[in-house]
């Protein structure tokens, strides 16, 4: 116990130096940790945005109105005060009918039966 009292008595001035040195290290560590957390959050947001399905494209005319506002026969815009006379936007895709696929196990190719050879 006498050794501790002797050390504290002789080196009491260290209490002003040591916390400053240690405190700076703690502050640097804290700043680095905050930077890492921020980078991880930005990465998670980017991954979430990449996994989302893109919005379906809309048929928008040069007059900034949707295709549904244009008369199909005359192509004139039905919105008041719009001078657009013809829809010039992308043409929507038509509906496609796809035949059901057959199962490969149930399909027998025409020709001689190879299992009997």
Residue 63 inside a domain? The answer is: yes
Same domain membership, residue 72 and residue 33 = no
Largest CA distance in the chain: 106
Residue 33 inside a domain? The answer is: yes
Range of the domain at 38: 1-50
Helix, strand, coil percentages, rounded to 5, for the chain: 50, 5, 50
What single DSSP character describes residue 56?
P
Same domain membership, residue 21 and residue 44 = yes
Residue 37 inside a domain? The answer is: yes
Same domain membership, residue 84 and residue 45 = no
Q: Mind listing the pLDDT tens digit of every residue in the chain (117 residues)?
A: 566 677 667 766 666 666 655 557 778 888 999 999 999 999 999 999 999 988 887 888 888 888 888 888 887 888 888 888 776 667 766 777 777 777 767 666 666 665 555
The residue with tokens 């040591």 is: 18
Instruction: Specify the pLDDT at position 109.
Output: 66
Number of domains in the chain: 2
Same domain membership, residue 61 and residue 39 = no
Beta bridge partners of 66: 60
Look at the pTM and tell me if it is higher than 0.75.
no
């Amino acid at each position: 116990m006498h050794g501790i009292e002797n050390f504290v008595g002789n080196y009491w001035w260290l209490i002003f130096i040591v916390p400053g040195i240690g405190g700076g290290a703690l502050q640097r560590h804290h700043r680095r940790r905050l930077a890492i957390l921020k980078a991880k959050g930005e990465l998670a947001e980017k991954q979430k945005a990449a996994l989302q399905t893109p919005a379906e494209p809309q048929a928008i005319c040069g007059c900034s109105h949707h295709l549904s506002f244009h008369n199909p026969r005359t192509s004139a815009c039905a919105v008041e005060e719009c001078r657009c006379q013809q829809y010039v936007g992308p043409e929507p895709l038509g509906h496609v009918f796809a035949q059901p696929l057959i199962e490969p196990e149930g399909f027998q190719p025409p020709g001689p039966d190879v299992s009997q050879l």
